[in-house]
Chain A
């Protein structure tokens, strides 16, 4: 059972249906695909966000996502993983990140998608800068994201 892993960092938008079709093409062993999309939202706690700019560390970002994708493949019986993270400037409503996980049964796909997103938030080198009516500033990391990632290290 093969498990192709696709990781892309790009400025262009992604098409979720197309990415799922690519992941499942010519496969009859896949019974479940979980899709998570992260979208730029206007409301962030107190201020209205006008735009977000995503910066990344080229080279390390791909490698770090690859390390966690490989770990997901070793922890769950997966049949395919796709992670696409966009960089550049985004308006509310625009796609930022896509995680697809495919498996024979849904549980592995759900858990692996959540695992990948939790690590993407806390250990993949990406940073968000927020523009709002009150000015421009770097988004601060949330302790809740660290806690979400930490639960995967408990046995």
Chain B
């Protein structure tokens, strides 16, 4: 699946997007955050406060317990500050 990062999550991870293949045991957004955090210090820093991180699956906001099965694109970003 494709993963996108925005704002300071993107800056901390060090990239805007990538394709990942998490193991089948990673089933929810929350579990994906934990799995990504274990990849390197950069990811751990980006996701150090997982409750602050917002997620979207295929362009729709989701909660942290949302299932990731079948997702084409998952995005992680801080709370929005547009308008």
Which residues of A are in contact with B by a Cβ distance under 8 Å?
38, 54-57, 59-61, 63-64, 85, 96-97, 117, 120-129, 138-141
Q: Which residue of A lies closest to B8 (CB)?
A: A138
Which residues of B are in contact with A by a Cβ distance under 8 Å?
4, 6-8, 56, 59-61, 75, 77-83
- Contact A125-B80, Cβ < 8 Å, known A55-B7, A57-B6: yes
Please pick, from B7, B59, B60, B61, the residue contacting A127 in the complex, using a CB distance under 8 A.
B7
CA distance A149 to B81 in the complex (A): 13
How many A-B Cβ pairs are below 8 Å? Answer: 71
Residues of B within 8 A of A125 (CB): 6, 56, 75, 77, 80, 82
Contact call B75/A141, Cβ cutoff below 8 A? no
Contact call B75/A126, Cβ cutoff below 8 A? no
Contact call B80/A97, Cβ cutoff below 8 A? no
CA distance A68 to B30 in the complex (A): 26
Contact call B6/A55, Cβ cutoff below 8 A? yes
Contact call B56/A121, Cβ cutoff below 8 A? no
